[in-house]
Every structure is written in C-alpha cells, then in structure tokens.
Amino acid sequence: MTEHTVKSYGEELAHLTAEVTRMGGLAEAQVADSIEAIARRDGPLAQAVVGGDERLDALQADIERKAFRLIALRQPMAMDLRHAVAALKISMSLERCGDMAKNIAKRALILTEADPMTALTRSIERMGRLVQGRLKDVLDAYTTSDLQRAIGVWSRDEEVDEHYNSIFRELLTYMMADPRTINACAHLLFVAKNLERIGDHATNIAEIIHFELTGEELVSQRPKLDAIAQ
C-alpha cells in the first residue's frame, strides 16, 4: 500500500469535526475543574486550569487554520461549507468558555485564601453543574448531529439565568449583612457571571448547530429574562 495518502475531502471534514469535539472535551474539563476548584478550595487544581488554557488556545488556532485551509483549497458548498464554518465558530465559542474557566480558576486561587463560605460555594457549585450539563448536551448534539438535542439546550436557557439571579440576590444579602465578606462575595459574583456566560455560549453553539444542520437560523423567541431588571 502507498504510505503517503492524500487525504480525501471527506476525511478532512471529519477530521475537523473530531478536532472540535476534542477541543470541546478539553473545554468541558476546564470548566468542570474550575468549579471543582471553587467547591473544594483546591489551589493546585485551580493552578492546573490556569495553565491548561494555553492548550485550548493552541487547539483553537489549529482548527482555525485547518478550517481556512479547507475553505480556501476545497471551496466547499452548502452543507460542507456550513460544516466548516460551524467548526470555526464553535471552536471560537469553546475558546471563550476556556477563558472564562481560567478566570474562575484564578478567583478560586484567591478564594482559597479567604475564610470558607460553604453555603455560597454550594450555590455556585449547583449552578456550575447546570452549566456543565448544558455544555455536555450541546457537544453531544454536535458529535451526533442531533438537531432535537441542540434545540433542547437552546430552549432551556432560562434555567441558568434564574440561578444567576438567585445567586446575585444571595450574595447581596451577605455583603449587606457583613461587609467583611465583600471581597470574597465580589469574586463569587464574577464567578457566577462567568458561569452564566458559559451557559450563553452553550446556547450560541446550539444555534450554530441548528444552522449547520438545517441552513436556517433559529428564530429567537425564547422567554428571555432580564437579569438586571429583576
């Protein structure tokens, strides 16, 4: 058999999907570890998350290069074009998720030095699990090309917002009651905000998948809750 195989077009596309999926797995793990670092006050784990972000960035750059190359050389049409563009866009979203995980981990490092606030970190952990679940669902939808699953993630966006609002109030109450907690609470507030943003990225990825599979935009008619007005 000839060893220098010229990769077929189809293989190149499949390769792109595989890369994005792998990147998704890494982003998932980064998010999970950053939440774990907050919940268990685990400094070394937080440090590892901060260090691990580089790999995610490198993967994103690699996917971007490959997607551009494929578009330039193969000039894909219709489904194939949407496929390549989706890989590009999803990888960008995932990279942002990674950045936010890194930010959460940095705050976890600071929080390990403060007094433990178990009740609050529990709420954060609960919200984190929810966001993690959404990320997992949307990536599962991507790897299996499952349109219904993607739409499911998209339409359940409000749950995360509700949690965010509830944590927001809880933190305010704490800060008002005891100003010494303001420092830690402010960090937790940003952690919650970051988690909410990761949830938004999951929704965004669901929209990209929808467009990739159908060629049509998901029309935004979700019951949107205004986080600040509440």
Partner 1 sequence: MPPAQTPPDAPDHRVASAFWPVLIGPGAILGLAVVGMAQPAPALVAAVVSGAAALALSRPRRRARVPSPIPGAVPAVAAESGPPFVAILDRLPDPLMVIAAEEADDLTGRRFLFANAAARDLFKIQRQGALLVTAVRNPRVLEAVDEALFGNVEGVVEFETGGAQGRSWLAHARPLKDAPGRSRLALLALRDETDARRSERTRADFLANASHELRTPLASLSGFIETLRGHAKDDPGARDKFLGIMLAQAERMSRLIDDLMSLSRIELNEHIAPLGRVDMAMAAIDVIDALAPQAREKGVTFDPVLPPRGGAVVDGDRDQIIQVIQNLVDNAIKYTPEHGVIRVEIFPGLSAEAAAAARDPAASRLSLLTPDHDAGERYAVLRVTDRGPGLAREHLPRLTERFYRVEGQKSGERSGTGLGLAIVKHIMNRHRGGLTVESVQGEGATFGVYLPMAKVGAEPAPAPPPAAPAEA
Sign of the torsion angle spanned by Cα atoms 103, 104, 106, 111: positive
By CB under 8 A, residue 64 contacts partner 1: no
- Compare residues 57 and 110 and give the one whose CB is closer to partner 1: 57
Number of residues that bind partner 1 (CB under 8 A): 45
Question: Cα(109)–Cα(5) distance, rounded to whole angstroms?
Answer: 48
Question: Are 38 and 125 contacting, i.e. CB atoms less than 8 angstroms apart?
Answer: yes
Q: Mark the segment that binds partner 1 (CB under 8 A) among 67-75, 91-99, 105-113, 125-133.
A: 125-133
By CB under 8 A, residue 15 contacts partner 1: yes
Q: What are phi and psi of 172, to 5 degrees?
A: -60, -45
The first and second tokens of residue 134, run together, are 């959404």
- In order of 113, 164, 193, the CA distances from 87 in angstroms are 40, 29, 26
Among 40, 41, 74, 126, binds partner 1 (CB under 8 A): 126
By CB under 8 A, residue 29 contacts partner 1: yes
Q: Enumerate residues 154-173 that contact partner 1 by CB under 8 A.
A: 156, 158-159, 162-163, 165-166, 169
Q: Could you write out the three-class secondary structure of 17-39?
A: HHHHHHHHHHHHHHHHHHHHHHH
Q: Mark the segment that binds partner 1 (CB under 8 A) among 37-45, 91-99, 146-154, 189-197.
A: 146-154
Output the smallest distance, CB 113 to partner 1, in A. 23
By CB under 8 A, residue 99 contacts partner 1: no
Among 77, 113, 148, 220, binds partner 1 (CB under 8 A): 148
Question: Cα(90)–Cα(41) distance, rounded to whole angstroms?
Answer: 31
By CB under 8 A, residue 79 contacts partner 1: yes
Question: Cα(181)–Cα(115) distance, rounded to whole angstroms?
Answer: 9
Among 49, 100, 108, 139, binds partner 1 (CB under 8 A): 139
Q: Give kind and range of the element (H or E) at residue 98.
A: helix 78-111
By CB under 8 A, residue 132 contacts partner 1: yes
Q: In this structure, how many other beta carbons lie within 10 angstroms of the beta carbon of residue 71?
A: 15
Residues that bind partner 1 (CB under 8 A): 1, 8, 10-11, 13-15, 17-19, 21-22, 24-26, 28-29, 32, 79-80, 83, 122-123, 126, 132-133, 136-137, 139, 143-145, 148-149, 152, 156, 158-159, 162-163, 165-166, 169, 212, 230
